[in-house]
Amino acid sequence: MFKLFKRNRRTTSEYIFDNINILIMLSICAITIYPIWYVIVNSLNDGMDAMKGGSIYWWPREFSLENYKAVFNNQGILTSFGVTVAKTVIGTIIHVFFTAMVAYAISRKDLYGRKLYMMIGIVTMFFSGGLIPYFLLIRDLGLFDNFLVYIIPTMFNFFHLIIFVSFFRELPTSLEEAAKMDGANDFTIFIRVIIPLSMPVIATIALFQGVYQWNDYFAGVIFVNDPSLQPIQTYLYKVVAESSSNQMMMNASGTIATKTVTSQSIKLATMVVTTLPIVLVYPFLQKYFVKGMLIGSVKG
C-alpha cells in the first residue's frame, strides 16, 4: 500500500502488519464517512426519482436542489432553525461566561469557604434528583413553553467548572496582582485579565456546550409545546420518531411544486443542513477539545 517503496529496516511481519493496519484504518474511515455521504447524495437527488426505487449509493441519479429550496421555503423549519441558532449562541455565551466566572472565584486559593463550595459541587456529580423531580422543578419555575428553558437550566456545569479551574490554576498570578495594585476589583480582573488569557479553554468549553445546545432535542420534547419555540432537532425528532413525515410534506406543499420533492427527500436535506455547521467547525477546534477532554477525564 502506502509503504511499498519504503521497506527499510523492518521485518517482514512488521511490514505486513503496517499495511494491514493502514487497511483497517482506511476501512474505519470509509465506514464513518459513507452513511453521511449517502445522506448528502440522496438529499441532492430528485425526490420523486428516488422513490422509484433502486437505491442511489454513490452519486445523485437526477441532480436537484429542489429539496434544499423546499427546506428554506418551509416556514416551520426556518423558525426551528432560528430557535436552534438563538439557543446555541445565547446559551453557549451565557454558559461559558457564568461557569468561568464561578470557576475563577473557586480557583482562587484565598477564597473564603472555597472547600465548602467545592464540596457542594462534588455532591452534584454523584447524586441527582433524576428526571421527574427535575421536570416538576422546571414546571414550578414557569419555564414551560419559555425560551429561557434552553438557557437558565444549562448555564452552569460542574464538570466544565473543573476544566476551567484546572486551567486558571496554571495561569501566572503576576498580571492579577498588577491589576489589583491598580485598584481593580476581582470581577474586573476576571473580565479584563483572566478571560483574554483563557481563550484555549473557553474555545473548548464553548465547543462542548455549543454541540450540546445544537444537538439537544429532549428539552424541546418535554418542556415545549409551542411549535414556534421548537428547535430544529426536536422538529426532526418528531418527523423521525413519530413518523409524521406526511405532515411535513403538507407543510412544504404550500410553498413549492410538490412534483419533485417527497417527505423523505426533505427530511434528508433538513438533516444535512442541521449537521453541516458543526461538522464544518470542529476540525478547527480539534487541538483545543482534545486537551479539554484530557483535563476533564483526569480530574473528573
Cβ(272)–Cβ(232) under 8 Å? no
Give the whole-angstrom CA distance, residue 214 versus residue 88: 6
Report the residue from 53, 58, 174, 181 that binds other proteins according to the rule CB under 8 A. Answer: 53
Residue 275 in contact with other proteins, rule: CB under 8 A? yes
Answer yes or no whether residue 276 interacts with other proteins by CB under 8 A: no
Q: Which range in 60-68, 150-158, 170-178, 246-254 contacts other proteins by CB under 8 A?
A: 150-158
Residue 49 contacts other proteins per CB under 8 A:
no
Residues near 209 by beta carbon (within 8 Å), at least 6 away in sequence: 91, 92, 95, 96, 154, 157, 160
- The footprint of other proteins on residues 209-268 (CB under 8 A) is 211, 214-218, 222, 233, 236-237, 239-241, 264, 267-268
Termini Cα distance of the chain: 42
CB atoms under 10 Å from CB of 119, counted, come to 9
Q: Does 78 bind other proteins (CB under 8 A)?
A: no
294 scored as a contact of other proteins (CB under 8 A): yes
Distances (CA, A) of 82 to 70, 227, 255: 16, 12, 19
Angstrom distance (rounded) from CA 187 to CA 179: 11
DSSP state of 229: G
The whole-angstrom separation of Cα 231 and Cα 8 is 56
CB of 254 to other proteins, least distance (A): 23
Residue with the three cell numbers 418551509: 74
The minimum distance between CB 14 and other proteins, in angstroms, equals 6
Q: Which three cell numbers stand for residue 37?
A: 455521504
For position 68 contacting other proteins by CB under 8 A, the verdict is no
Give the number of residues in contact with other proteins, rule: CB under 8 A. 92
Cell numbers for 297, please give them. 477525564
128 binds other proteins (CB under 8 A): yes
Stretch that binds other proteins, among 64-72, 75-83, 89-97, 115-123 (CB under 8 A): 115-123
Q: Which of residues 18-47 bind other proteins (CB under 8 A)?
A: 18, 21-22, 24-26, 28-29, 31-33, 35-36, 38-39
**Minimum CB distance to other proteins smaller for 82 or for 129:** 129
110 is a site residue for other proteins (CB under 8 A): yes
